[in-house]
Structure 1
Amino acid sequence: MTSRRFHVERVRLSRLVAAFPLAAVLLLTSCTSSAEIEQEARSSDVPSSALVVDTSPEQADRVRTDEDPDAAALVPTDIAEDGVLRVGVNGAGDPPLGFLADDNGTVVGSEVDIAQLVADGLGLELEVVNTTWESWPLGVQSGDLEAVFSNVGVNAERLQLFDFATYRQGIMAFVAAPDSGLDIADAAGISGLSVGVGSGTNQERILLDWNAQLEAEGKAPATLEYYVSAADALLAIQSGRLDTYLGPNPNAVYQESVGDVEVVGTVNAGWPNTTYVAATTLKGNGLAAAIQASLQHAFDDGTYAETLERWGLGDEAVDAPELNPAVAS
């Protein structure tokens, strides 16, 4: 298919109290004719409230806003003169955050849409660079990327090097095979398990802290398995090689809704404190303040809420964008 839309039962997060659900990942494989027929049959039974994930490169239904002169006036001179906002988004994931469209080259998803709102408000053209989680810090520090919209959580260490403008709650989720029987609420829940995680992430820090706690209590720590791609972790879960994977909540909720995995626990990315997902820029260059102002414009005119609802992320909305929120060290 050159374009397809996955109809997915929307999974509400009301049962995930104060949780930052995690993510798993969908493999966007090409459909055979029979698979397409099966998909259409399933779609006919999907309720009208179902989330529609657009995988087309055109993204005709993307929500847009207009320029906010006050926000545009805050853009650093070099970026304003260039007229382009160059942002990094990890396109190796799955709906709804950042993933490759049907052309296998265009990065689309909720993170791209938020970046588009910011660029619109600043009167700039959006340029999306497909980046990896491991490479975004160097990309920002080198100037190759002017900002990153890639589910980056604010923490004390990152605040030393980068500026942030928040736009979503930072929730992580544990996913496992359906009917695994797992229930992970704290360190005790991962004792003795094999747990997949991305290197250099907030969730890795949490798991390392939990392992230290388990060892101090004389309990078996979890075995951490590192994955660059959440899709690989999903395959490992499905094959029984991995007990659970800790990743972003939006991916986890989506993956659960299509039946590939089950959310078995959640944790805030800032555990034991609270943190948020934010646009990330080089510290001190002034761009984060412009982004915050542009986000506020999108909050005020309703396009921020529309964008989150488009991708089924309304439950992760924040009340207002915040510049460099205070976090516990």
Structure 2
Amino acid sequence: MTRTRTRAVRPTAALPLRTALVLSTVVFLSACTSSAEIEADQRAEGAAEAGATEAVLGVDTSPEQTGRVHTDEDPDAATLVPAAIAEDGRLTVGVAGAGEPPLGFLADDNATVVGSEVDIASLVAESLGLQLDVVNVSWEQWPLGVQSGDLEAVFSNVGVNSERLQLFDFATYREGVMAFSARPDSGLSIDEPADIAGLTIAVSSGTNQERILLDWNAQNEAAGLETAQLEYYANAADTLLALQSGRIDTYIGPNPNAVYQQSVGDIEIVGTVNAGWPNTTYVAATSLKGNGLVDAFEAALQHVFEDGTYARTLERWGLPDEAVDEPVVNPAVGS
């Protein structure tokens, strides 16, 4: 009989030059230390209006994470772990902890990284019989961290694209979804390019969501429709203030962040689009190309898909709509 193994997730020191920037390849909204009080006030007001301050997605902000879902070791998956890692018994994973729930954020001790991405990494490590060491990284750090060997993998809302496939291996575990967020009384509904005609939309430069908006604007212009005006913001507090003051009509960013912000009353999700539009793109466990970990990750993910702990973890963080049916190694991406 397979023995259930429960391990503590141990935070380790951040890599050098850690910054508190974006969470992922497609991340737009992340917390900013200088504006944390503003965001906290806005969340408190929104939750008070909803009358459910303590019921925000049931988010556990403790460093102990007693509500984390656990699985047991899968011996077949464990045999696929590269020898050096198996001998060490540890899996060092980078997760960006500079944001807000549900993806990756700092617990109440302001040191331990917790969130949905840590929970998925924890399931994978447990399936492989390894102890998980979580390293708090910024988005800019993870590629170099993996290539240098400081990180054995990254679980941090990393989307699969053609450029990354040249350097890294991927095992998918979520769809990459972008959400349009607006004031709760906006009356907006965004499903296609025509729906953004004439709107003022906040977006982060150099992201998948900016590409989507530029493509939609091109379609609208060709169809004789008014284009959307794009405004660029660097952090969540400034964007929310712009939305509440009417300077923008909507903003587009990662769906997980929008799910949380909607739950606390800051915004309403008025539409979603896949990050790879018009194709489908996925979020994946990321490791160095050819180092052998991806096969172990695929097997470990398949194990937690089948035993139900994957679905329970997504439910815990309000992300069941991003679930996939099975892990896929290095999925094909659109041109």
- TM, length-normalised to structure 2: 0.79
After TM superposition, give the deviation of residue 276 of structure 1 in Å: 1.9
2:254 alignment counterpart: 248
3-state secondary structure, aligned to 1:188: helix
Deviation string, structure 1 residues 127-186 (Cα, Å, up to 9, x no partner): 222223343333323333222212222223332222111111222110012212332222
After TM superposition, give the deviation of residue 218 of structure 1 in Å: 5.2
- 1:274 maps onto 2:291 in alignment: no
1:296 alignment counterpart: 302
Summarize the alignment of residues 15-164 of structure 1 with structure 2, pairs less than 5 Å apart: 42-43=51-52, 51-164=57-170
- 1:236 maps onto 2:248 in alignment: no
Q: Is the 8 A contact 1:91 1:130 kept in 2?
A: yes
Unaligned 5+ runs, structure 1: 1-21
- 1:261 maps onto 2:267 in alignment: yes
Letter paired with 2:87 = E
Distance 1:44 1:196, change over 3 A: closer
After TM superposition, the structure 1 stretch with the greater mean CA deviation from structure 2, 194-203 or 57-66, is: 194-203
Deviation string, structure 1 residues 248-272 (Cα, Å, up to 9, x no partner): 2122122212211011111011210
Letter paired with 2:84 = D
After TM superposition, give the deviation of residue 44 of structure 1 in Å: 9.3
After TM superposition, give the deviation of residue 112 of structure 1 in Å: 0.6
The number of residues matched between the two structures is: 301
Structure 2 CA distance, aligned partners of 1:67 and 1:316? Answer: 25
Letter paired with 1:302 = G
Distance 1:293 1:172, change over 3 A: same
After TM superposition, give the deviation of residue 31 of structure 1 in Å: 8.1
1:307 alignment counterpart: 313
Structure 1 CA distance, aligned partners of 2:140 and 2:218? Answer: 24
Deviation string, structure 1 residues 104-132 (Cα, Å, up to 9, x no partner): 22211111100101111122221222223
CA-atom RMSD, angstroms? 3.0
1:287 alignment counterpart: 293
Specify which of 186, 191, 201 is matched with residue 192 of structure 2: 186
Structure 2 CA distance, aligned partners of 1:31 and 1:184? Answer: 28
1:5 alignment counterpart: none
Distance 1:205 1:136, change over 3 A: farther
Q: Is the 8 A contact 1:23 1:249 kept in 2?
A: no
Letter paired with 1:174 = F
Unaligned 5+ runs, structure 2: 1-26
2:15 alignment counterpart: none
Q: Is the 8 A contact 1:153 1:202 kept in 2?
A: no
Q: Is the 8 A contact 1:161 1:283 kept in 2?
A: yes
2:172 alignment counterpart: 166
Letter paired with 1:120 = E
3-state secondary structure, aligned to 1:52: coil
After TM superposition, give the deviation of residue 219 of structure 1 in Å: 4.6
After TM superposition, give the deviation of residue 60 of structure 1 in Å: 1.0
Structure 2 CA distance, aligned partners of 1:44 and 1:230? Answer: 20
After TM superposition, the structure 1 stretch with the greater mean CA deviation from structure 2, 148-157 or 103-112, is: 148-157
Q: Is the 8 A contact 1:184 1:264 kept in 2?
A: yes
Structure 2 CA distance, aligned partners of 1:31 and 1:278? Answer: 30
Structure 1 CA distance, aligned partners of 2:167 and 2:121? Answer: 21
Specify which of 310, 317, 320 is matched with residue 323 of structure 2: 317
3-state secondary structure, aligned to 2:59: strand
After TM superposition, the structure 1 stretch with the greater mean CA deviation from structure 2, 218-227 or 84-93, is: 218-227
3-state secondary structure, aligned to 1:157: helix
Distance 1:212 1:72, change over 3 A: same
Distance 1:120 1:201, change over 3 A: farther
Structure 2 CA distance, aligned partners of 1:44 and 1:233? Answer: 22
Letter paired with 1:96 = P
Q: Is the 8 A contact 1:23 1:253 kept in 2?
A: no
Distance 1:86 1:306, change over 3 A: same
Deviation string, structure 1 residues 203-233 (Cα, Å, up to 9, x no partner): 2321232233344445544343444434443
> What's the % identity of the aligned pairs?
72
